[in-house]
Chain A
Amino acid sequence: MKNWYGRIACCLLISISPAVSAADEAELDALRQEIDRLKRDYDKKIEGLEDRLDRQQQDTKTPPAQTRAVPTPGRRQVTDKAFNPAISLILNGSYTDFELDPEAYFIPGYALGEETGPGEEGLSLAESEFVVSANVDDKFYGAFTLALTPDNEAEVEEAYFQTLALPWGFTLKAGRFYSGIGYLNEQHSHRWDFADTALAYRALLVNQYGDDGAQLRWLAPTDLFLEFGLEALRGDSYPAAGAGDNGVGANSAFVHLGGDVGVSHSWRVGVSRLYAEAEDRESSESGPALPAAGDFTGDSEVTVVDFVWKWAPNGNPYRTNLTFQAEYLRREEDGIYSNVPAPYEAEQSGWYAQAVYQFMPRWRLGLRYDELDAEDPGIAFSNTGLDPGDHTPTRRSAMLDFSNSEFSRFRLQYNRDESRPETDDQWFLQYIMSLGAHGAHQF
């Protein structure tokens, strides 16, 4: 500041200097003295002002005690109203290229549920998800997810409320929701690390099992994460069907255990079991020109063991991080297929392992291996879709994705899909965009 005035004085001098002749040396001296006087004057005034400013700042530094503790008024109005309830929309679409006809998809040894397969070929819109969620009041939370299919059909994927304030670590959830079995089962498709879900989930659960019902969880009061869950469900969706047992046709139980290892590693393991009753469960009729086994009526029991390991240097996933996950699913079914005279009793199982590595901010690379195994249900089922033959279905996938921010993602994926006896080269180019509220994601 002081220099600035000095500079003005200099400029004044320079600007007037051509006007003065050498003879006016005395006048110039007088002028210099005048400017010096002015400068001193201003310096004094500025110092005074600076002192006053300092004093004022000291005052504002320690405001009166009452104003401190009171939340700042006028700030809340921006947020709570604008963001309650939290509304978000997921846009999702892809370009795909398949070697084999996706309409004729089948897996030997499996009577797949309806709409099971690699999806549409070419340019297509995938499901758009519309999510509304909020705390209902101090005791409840509610969430609603509507999936809009590209065929202009709306489907309620989830619609549930959940308690926030039950004592002793209990949480109750009721409505329609994805069952807590396994690890991938609860995740909505936009959260998958690959364009498609694991083969075992596709074959045994038609991607994921969600149903109407109630879920009770109990979280143990320990430093190690230990959670138990029980579910009673309607039993109206694959692998259950027909809402048997007066509309309580399925139930499940699960245990989750998790923790950290140092600051950089965290893990979770889980064991779950689903018991489902199926009444006239339909299967997709695609596949080779074999007689379909028909509708299934009987019991279906699914066991899932899941494991997730996440690594991020110092627990900071911003630059690099790695997620490894693996799950094993086994389904035992016991019942009757409508077109086959002999009873069906066999075990089908599958597993996958995948690793997704973020090698630099925004870029991730993922590898996945899938394998299925189906027991031969016997001679009566030879030449039906349930005859596994001597083929072991496998799939190898690699993906690369780019996220401009947490809200936008583009993905390129290649599958060498040998779930059918012939090899299918599958390419996916996919986008996922999320609009609206920040969705906090589960582990």
Chain B
Amino acid sequence: MRALLILTPLLLAAALPARAELRVFACEPEWGALVQELGGDKVSVYTATTALQDPHRVQARPSLIARLRSAELLVCTGAQLEIGWLPVLLRRAANASVQPGNAGYFAAADYVTMQDVPQHIDRSAGDVHPEGNPHIHTDPRNIARVAEALAERMVRLDLDHKAFYEARGVDFSARWDAAIERWERQAQRLRGVPVVTQHQSWVYLIHWLGLREVATLEAKPGIPPSSAHLAQVAARLEQSPAKMVIRAAYQDARPSRWLSGRAPLAEVVLPYTVGGTPEARDLFGLFDDTVRRLQAAAR
């Protein structure tokens, strides 16, 4: 009897916040924004990181554990991008539904074709991701693929709003495809433009727009660029000059600033994800601004 007295309020507490909104924990702002596009007012999204944070290096803060505790759907990039922090959150959050393998765990990288999958894994090559380069969202065509799978997943978790999610998914995908066409038209002149990147965060963007990456400031992924390597890059650029050096809003400004002072190229700060620049307010703004900034620098 006493056990029942203790258990009843516990059960009630567990059952109470049911089915108001689908509670989503998004690891990165791009997925938070995508869930918002697809879910509208039927979801409440908590985004764990901002565009000014490096998704590789986030601390498993108590606040993140607390937020994951009550999430019904976890949307992350996967491909080991969050390996430095997400496993701790999953172990500490005591939330069965978002564990890998369950419907509440959604890894976007599972739905796109990965690039830069290493043949050979050795840390002497830096912080390599065995599943391939995880910065998949820098190609909007990948976002289209993820959106489709994500909408299906949201339907599965929240059947009451099946028609709602499906309609929004169709609507988003139509608007997104039109936008991709627009961006590709705008970016036609960028084809073959030689660029330098700071971290290998842009392989998908470069592939999409047909840019030509001539150098990376990080000699090895995840290891800060040394001055010796920077000097080498500067020397190499004298032979084959690049138009611009690209970095994400969250990355350290110094290496690319140093290089743009040394070689005749433009320094371009791209939003990288939603919130990275004031213009990148949502996913559409993100690519509008990315293409605009690249065009301005290529001119």
Whether the Cβ atoms of B224 and A361 lie closer than 8 Å is yes
Does B21 lie at the interface of the complex (its beta carbon under 8 Å from any beta carbon of A)? no
State A266–B49 Cα separation when bound (angstroms): 13
- Report the bound CA distance from A320 to B91 in whole Å: 28
Cα of A358 to Cα of B112 in the assembled complex, Å: 37
* Cβ contact of B69, chosen from A62, A221, A317, A362, cutoff 8 A: A221
Given known A361-B252, A441-B60, contact A169–B69 (CB-CB < 8 A): yes
A75 touches B90 (CB 8 A): no
Of B53, B80, B96, B101, which one neighbours A316 at CB under 8 angstroms? B53
Interface string of A395-415 (1 = CB under 8 A from B): 000000000111100000000
- How many angstroms between the C-alpha atoms of A442 and B61 in the bound complex? 8
CB within 8 Å: A-B pair count: 170
A219 at the interface (CB under 8 A from B): yes
Fill in one digit per residue for B82-99: 1 if any A CB lies within 8 Å of its CB, else 0: 011111101111111001
Which residue of B132, B148, B223, B252 contacts A319 across the interface (Cβ within 8 Å)? B252
User: Which B residues touch A72, using CB under 8 A?
Assistant: 110-114
B141 at interface, CB cutoff 8 A? yes
Interface presence of A27 (CB below 8 A): no
Q: Which A residues touch B93, using CB under 8 A?
A: 219
- Tell me which of A16-24, A257-265, A273-281, A299-307 binds B: A257-265
- Contacting residues, chain A, for B110 (C-beta < 8 A): 71-72
Of the candidates B91, B130, B132, the one having the most CB atoms from chain A within 10 angstroms of its own CB is: B91
Decide if B69 touches A405 in the complex (CB within 8 Å): no
Task: Give the size range of A's interface with the partner.
Answer: 35 or more
Query: What mask results when residues 314 to 338 of chain A are scored 1 for a CB within 8 Å of chain B, else 0?
Result: 1111110000000000000000000
The residue on A at minimum CB distance from B107 is A71
Given contacts A315-B49, A404-B223, contact A223 B96 (CB under 8 A): no
Q: Which of A149-163 contact B (CB under 8 A)?
A: 162
The distance in angstroms between the C-alpha atoms of A167 and B17, with both chains bound, is 15
A440 / chain B contacts, CB cutoff of 8 Å: 60, 83-88
Check A219–B66 contact: CB distance below 8 A.
yes
Kindly identify, within residues 218 to 234 of chain B, every residue whose CB is under 8 Å from any CB belonging to chain A: 222-224
Q: In the complex, which residues of chain A have a beta carbon less than 8 angstroms from the beta carbon of B14?
A: 167-168, 221
> Complex: how many Å from CA A220 to CA B145?
36
Contact A223 B85 (CB under 8 A): no
Cα-based distance from A220 to B95 in the complex (angstroms): 11
Contact in complex: A82, B130 (CB < 8 Å)? yes
Most buried by B among A75, A267, A362: A75
B103 contacts partner chain A, Cβ-Cβ < 8 Å: no
Chain B nearest Cβ from A325, distance in angstroms: 14
Q: Is the CB of A82 within 8 A of B121?
A: yes
| Shortest distance from the beta carbon of A139 to any chain B beta carbon, whole Å | 8
Contact among A165, A256, A259, A442 with B96 in the assembled complex (CB-CB below 8 Å): A165
B residues less than 8 Å from A441 (CB atoms): 59-60, 84, 88
Is the CB of A225 closer than 8 A to any CB of chain B? yes
Residue B262 is within 8 A (CB to CB) of chain A in the complex: no
Residue from B17, B61, B69, B222 whose CB has the most chain A CB atoms within 10 Å:
B61
Contacts A61-B180, A78-B117; A167 near B96 (Cβ below 8 A):
yes
Whether B50 pairs with A69 at a CB distance below 8 angstroms is no
B10 touching A168 by the CB < 8 A rule? yes
A166 and B96 contacting across the interface, CB-CB below 8 Å: yes
| Interface bin, chain B | 35 or more
A344 within 8 A of B: no
Contacts of A75 in B (CB 8 A): 114, 117, 131-132
For A166, what are the chain B residues with a Cβ–Cβ distance below 8 Å? 94, 96
Cα of A78 to Cα of B95 in the assembled complex, Å: 28
Most B-side CB within 10 Å, residue of A166, A167, A217, A407: A167
B52 interfacial contact with A, CB 8 Å = yes
Most buried by B among A141, A169, A267, A362: A169
A162 touches B91 (CB 8 A): yes
Once bound together, how far apart are the Cα atoms of A253 and B10, in whole Å? 20
Residues of B within 8 A of A25 (CB): none
| Residues in B neighbouring A95, C-beta threshold 8 A | none
The reply to whether B111 and A316 contact each other, CB–CB distance below 8 Å, is: no
Would you call B252 and A224 a contact (CB within 8 A)?
Answer: no
Judge whether B63 is part of the interface by a CB distance below 8 angstroms: yes
A314 to B130, Cβ gap below 8 A?
Answer: no
**A315 to B57, Cβ gap below 8 A?**
no
Instruction: List, in ascending order, chain A residues with CB within 8 A of B251's CB.
Output: 318
Known: A167-B96, A362-B224. A268 touches B62 (CB 8 A): yes
Chain A residues whose CB sits within 8 angstroms of the CB of B85 once the complex forms: 440
Q: In the bound complex, do residue A219 and residue B65 qualify as a contact, i.e. CB atoms below 8 Å apart? A: yes
Given contacts A168-B14, A443-B61, A217 and B94 within 8 Å (CB-CB):
yes
Contacts of B258-280 to chain A: CB distance below 8 A:
none
Q: Which residues of chain B have C-beta atoms less than 8 A from A260's C-beta?
A: 61, 63
Contact of A443 among B62, B67, B223 (CB under 8 A): B62
Residue of A nearest to B91 (CB): A141
User: Taking CB as reference atom, which chain A residue is nearest B152?
Assistant: A69
* A274 vs chain B, min Cβ distance (A): 21
Minimum C-beta distance from A317 to chain B (A) = 6
B40 contacts partner chain A, Cβ-Cβ < 8 Å: no
- How many Å from the CB of B127 to the closest CB on chain A? 7
Partner of A405, one of B70, B127, B180: B127
Bound complex: CA of A386 vs CA of B80, how far in Å?
Answer: 52
| B152 surroundings in chain A (CB, below 8 A) | 69
B240 at the interface (CB under 8 A from A): no
How far does the alpha carbon of A364 sit from the alpha carbon of B22 in the complex, in Å?
Answer: 42
Identify which of residues 411-443 in chain A touch chain B, using a CB-to-CB cut-off of 8 Å: 435, 438, 440-443
Residues in A whose Cβ lies below 8 Å from that of B59? 266, 310, 312, 317, 441, 443
Name 25 A/B residue pairs within 8 A (Cβ), A-sorted: A61-B141, A68-B111, A70-B111, A76-B131, A82-B121, A138-B99, A139-B96, A162-B91, A171-B94, A219-B65, A219-B94, A224-B63, A224-B66, A225-B63, A225-B65, A266-B59, A268-B62, A310-B61, A314-B250, A316-B52, A318-B252, A319-B252, A441-B60, A441-B84, A443-B60
What are the 10 tightest A-B residue pairs by CB atom distance, in nearest-first order? Answer: A258-B62, A225-B62, A165-B96, A225-B66, A314-B52, A71-B110, A440-B87, A260-B63, A361-B224, A266-B61
A residues contacting B by CB (< 8 A) are: 61-62, 65, 68-72, 75-76, 78-79, 82-83, 135, 138-139, 141, 162, 164-171, 217-226, 256, 258-260, 263, 266-268, 310, 312, 314-319, 361-362, 404-407, 435, 438, 440-443
